[in-house]
Structure 1
Amino acid sequence: MKLFRIYLLLGLLFSLFSCTQQIQFFDAENNLISYQGRIDFDNPAEPILIGSASYLEINFTGDSCLIMLQNMNTPAMYNFISIELDGQYMGRLKITSDSMTVYSFVPEAKKETHNLRILKATEASNGTIVFGGVQAFGLEELETLPDRKIEFIGNSITCGMGVDWKEIPCNTGQWYDQHNAYFAYGPQSAMKLDAQFMLSSVSGIGIYRNWNSLRPVMPDVYENMYLNTDVSKQWDFISYTPDLVSICLGTNDFSDGDGINERLPFDSAQYVSRYIDFVETVYSYYPETQVCLLTSPMVNGGKAKIFERCISSVKNHFDEAKPDKKSIAIYFFDGLTPHGCDSHPDREDQQEMANRLVPFYKEVMGW
């Protein structure tokens, strides 16, 4: 990381700051802090980053700032954050402590005001990260958020699994060590489109069956805040109404499974039926949204042709049954060979996905 240094500190860090300036504490409820993504605000003083690519953003003044974060997970597990400073990606940082810990960000560039984004690189199933506030000389107003809003619904591809294999080799450490949602096609597409984004994604999940189990599938968890089976905490769909909902589900339905659990042949009828039901759920919360359905760069050959026919059937159903809705758009990935862990797209592949999807989204949305 060339442009800044990160210090993990367990005590007071005031010595890092010039004694001629006064450090201030800004709690998580401060309106100079912006949030995006699946976040639990039940305790607004300590919001919880849940979903992939959920993030907080600040403009801070001075030569450094302190961010308070806590890993909410089992002791053996941890999370990663991705850091963007002054518009440049700076790297990932492992968040391990189960108590509120202070992280210091010290840019080397000399500027009056610095922009900092802290983005959850791991996914909801890896646990959560609690944000406890900011210590800085000052915070400044952020630019107004873009009007455009996108929700990306998907599986491990959407989560950014297997992306950072050059940083941590595949098949070493934890299965999520190469996760980096910052570089997933969703955030990368949204940034190019100047749009807000939210990811509702779970690795290994499908529409009617998962990679290594039958349940819970995406329709079982989508409405729950934590993208799990805990129905006691429901997601507040009023808090974020996307103009575009992009769904990329099917990789795991089409997969041959884990080689351990019994795997029946792919059931096209069940897949299409459950997909239709799921899109109905999406419409129940976002009746005016534009829905886009994507195939997968991880599904090829004869399976890819079946995949294309299946999502075309979903589109045709709604074109006939609900002509008042915006016609569902579909995108078929072709000629893209993933190079990441377990045949997932890596950074370059995800960027290629975004490069292909951006003109598609633009045409569909008139952006």
Structure 2
Amino acid sequence: MTSGRGGLRRSAPVRRVLGQVHTAGRVKDCGETVEFSWPGVYFEGRFRGTGVGVVLDCAAADYDVQVDGATVATLVTPGDTTYWITGLRDGEHAVRVVKRNDTPGETSAFGGFVAAPGGAVLGRPAPRDRQIEFIGDSITVGYGNMPHTGACDPEQVKRNTNSDVSHGALTARRLGADYQLNGFSGFGMVRNVSGICPDLTYRTYYDRALLDVDGDVWQNPGTWRPHIVVVNLGSNDFSDLTPGESWTPDGLALAYRTAYDGFLRTLRTRYGPGTSLVAVGFDRNAAHVRQVVDARNDAGDSGVHYWSLDLSGLDLLGCDGHTSARDDRLIADRLAPFLSGLPTGW
């Protein structure tokens, strides 16, 4: 098997990318390309022949290319290119490309798959019957979870982040589900880590497909109806207060619980009574999340569930004390059985 880069085929016949690939991610359909921003967005296709080209235009993020379930290439900020995988056994193959990291300040573009000479791109794979949406911060992203030594500078964080082996992605695959990883590192429900960007929160961006486009709203094609939504927001809200912040501990806790309750109400309105909402308690936010869940249950919404992210056995050897890939596997080991036991109708 060989691989390499080639120029983007501008003279190729016009084709709609979403007509040849399956994705569950939040993308903006531009016809010949799709644009996206969130981490972990993946595109799956099928082809016949001895090679396939992956058409990308992205100078910010990293990608894994997988053929028949095995990773055959990792593309680091590939730019405007068609990346070729060649020398495959002649026959039918599955191909998947996945965005490894979070780059909220940039928009990425995917132009589909191109078959090597003599081959053909086949019909897109069928969507999975199950869907799970993960909402959260760096823990959901898989921030710096790959093996590394010493402290991580910003570039090392990017290279060592792999959302495809985050606990959410692993959990979804174990349950045979399509998924979205709508994670934004550093942001919280009402307050961000170290008090940064005080006029913005995770909720500012949640509705967007393109995170760097003010006012952008993701247009759900009507196929995204998650059976489960997992919310893990609060680590940044309750990070240490910095000098000059106006929050008091009691005021922050009240604002957090109020906003969390409102966010769960919004999710319930959006997805309906058939979707199970899972609120994750973690570290300093656990008691507050439990209180919000109890309040929603008392108000008659029995589809809101509490799950505690257990830190026991975790090495926290990811960048800046985050979970490692090993930790993500352990978390998935614990989360998948919990989700499979919810009344989803699976």
TM-score range (shorter-chain normalised) is 0.7 to 0.9
Compared with structure 1, are the counterparts of its residues 107 and 278 closer, same or farther at alpha carbon in structure 2 (3 Å cutoff)?
farther
Match of 2:286 in 1: 308
User: How far off is 1:166 after superposition?
Assistant: 3.4
* 2:223 is equivalent to residue 245 of structure 1: no
* 2:23 is equivalent to residue 40 of structure 1: no
Ranges in structure 2 where 5+ consecutive residues have no aligned partner: none
Compared with structure 1, are the counterparts of its residues 115 and 167 closer, same or farther at alpha carbon in structure 2 (3 Å cutoff)?
farther
Q: Over the residues paired in the alignment, what is the CA RMSD in angstroms?
A: 2.5
User: How far off is 1:49 after superposition?
Assistant: 2.6
* 2:182 is equivalent to residue 200 of structure 1: yes
Whole-angstrom distance in 1 between the partners of 2:247 and 2:106: 31
**Which AA in structure 2 matches 1:131?**
F
Compared with structure 1, are the counterparts of its residues 294 and 91 closer, same or farther at alpha carbon in structure 2 (3 Å cutoff)?
farther
Q: Is the 8 A contact 1:28 1:131 kept in 2?
A: no
Whole-angstrom distance in 2 between the partners of 1:261 and 1:52: 32
Q: How many residues align?
A: 332
User: How far off is 1:169 after superposition?
Assistant: 7.2
> Equivalences for 1:115-134 in 2 at 5 Å?
115-134=94-113
Match of 1:222 in 2: 206
Whole-angstrom distance in 1 between the partners of 2:150 and 2:14: 35
Match of 1:284 in 2: 269
Whole-angstrom distance in 2 between the partners of 1:121 and 1:30: 20
User: How far off is 1:145 after superposition?
Assistant: 1.6
Whole-angstrom distance in 1 between the partners of 2:13 and 2:92: 17
Q: Is the 8 A contact 2:107 2:210 kept in 1?
A: no
> Equivalences for 1:1-367 in 2 at 5 Å?
4-10=1-7, 27-29=15-17, 31-41=19-29, 43-71=30-58, 78-90=60-72, 92-97=74-79, 100-106=80-86, 108=88, 110=89, 112-136=91-115, 137-166=119-148, 170-171=152-153, 173=155, 175-212=157-194, 213=196, 214-227=198-211, 230-231=214-215, 233-237=216-220, 238-256=222-240, 262=245, 264-266=247-249, 267-288=252-273, 289-296=275-282, 299=283, 303=284, 307-321=285-299, 323=300, 325-334=301-310, 335=312, 336-365=314-343, 367=346
Structure 1 residues 252-288: Cα deviation after superposition (integer angstroms, max 9, x where no partner): 112126x676474542211111111111121221122
Q: What secondary structure is seen at the aligned counterpart in 2 of 1:162? A: coil
Q: TM-score scaled by structure 2?
A: 0.87
**Which AA in structure 2 matches 1:329?**
H
Q: Is the 8 A contact 1:49 1:55 kept in 2?
A: no
Whole-angstrom distance in 2 between the partners of 1:68 and 1:202: 26
User: How far off is 1:189 after superposition?
Assistant: 0.6
Structure 1 residues 100-126: Cα deviation after superposition (integer angstroms, max 9, x where no partner): 311101255x25111111011122415
Ranges in structure 1 where 5+ consecutive residues have no aligned partner: 13-23
Compared with structure 1, are the counterparts of its residues 310 and 224 closer, same or farther at alpha carbon in structure 2 (3 Å cutoff)?
same
Q: What secondary structure is seen at the aligned counterpart in 1 of 2:170? A: helix
Compared with structure 1, are the counterparts of its residues 130 and 167 closer, same or farther at alpha carbon in structure 2 (3 Å cutoff)?
farther
